[in-house]
A and B are shown apart, each in its own frame.
Chain A
Amino acid sequence: ETGVTQSPTHLIKTRGQQVTLRCSSQSGHNTVSWYQQALGQGPQFIFQYYREEENGRGNFPPRFSGLQFPNYSSELNVNALELDDSALYLCASNRGGSYNEQFFGPGTRLTVL
């Protein structure tokens, strides 16, 4: 286990609703990245937060937003849920400036009905 925790583990929402996913980074890590992994695909980068500021974003619409808190934990918010948002959402943390040895949490499985 990496020390990165995510909550909840599973979540079911209906189309149009909003969802908040949470991530606690590994101790000593100030950078958090979020990824979306659809079934049978590799993870896709959503965005990254470094010291509470967004530090890079992938090809995701603005209804995907995030926050990082002073303790470096993070939230991913998704508004106006669509069926295609059903996926495993992964959080990864690392020390800022370090090489890409990112430590991943177990993920949150989101199902949109």
Chain B
Amino acid sequence: DAKTTQPPSMDCAEGRAANLPCNHSTISGNEYVYWYRQIHSQGPQYIIHGLKNNETNEMASLIITEDRKSSTLILPHATLRDTAVYYCIVSHDQGGKLIFGQGTELSVKP
């Protein structure tokens, strides 16, 4: 079973920030938080990952709470192309299996 909990769906206006929450209350000290997204009919795409510090790359920012029990993925200026299912995954495996849950279906609307 997935070790994360995400809302099943969210809407966001184009050009606004999309904030996707994830609960991972049973995360252990050596587990990382990963985010992937899957655009319809494509394979999942890696977005970002982190251990305990906040992370930012060209796609998104990842905010992890101090107790590491939850995190938020932030897409700073959502576009229609960001419409996808977003998966939050916790894993200690380096290059190992990914356990996907149901994810959050993000709809970016004009």
Contacts and interface: CB of A to CB of B under 8 A. Distances in A.
Interface of A is mostly: loop
Interface of B is mostly: loop
A100 B96 contact: yes
Interface residues of A, number: 31
Nearest to B102: A42
B68 interface: no
B32 A99 contact: yes
A2 B93 CA distance: 21
Contacts, number: 72
Interface string A12-38: 000000000000000000010101000
A95 B96 CA distance: 10
Interface centre among B32, B43, B44 (most CB of A within 10 A): B43
Interface in A93-113: 94-107
A82 to B, nearest CB: 22
Contacts of B49: 99-101
A100 B43 CA distance: 15
Interface residues of B, number: 24
Contact of A100 (B2, B95, B103): B95
A107 B45 CA distance: 13
B43 A2 contact: yes
22 contacts: A2-B43, A2-B45, A41-B102, A42-B2, A42-B100, A42-B103, A48-B96, A50-B95, A56-B93, A56-B97, A90-B44, A92-B44, A96-B95, A97-B95, A98-B95, A100-B34, A100-B89, A100-B95, A100-B98, A102-B44, A104-B44, A106-B43
Interface of B: 2, 32, 34, 42-46, 49, 85, 87, 89, 91, 93-103
Interface of A: 2, 4, 31, 33, 35, 41-45, 48, 50, 55-56, 58, 90, 92, 94-107
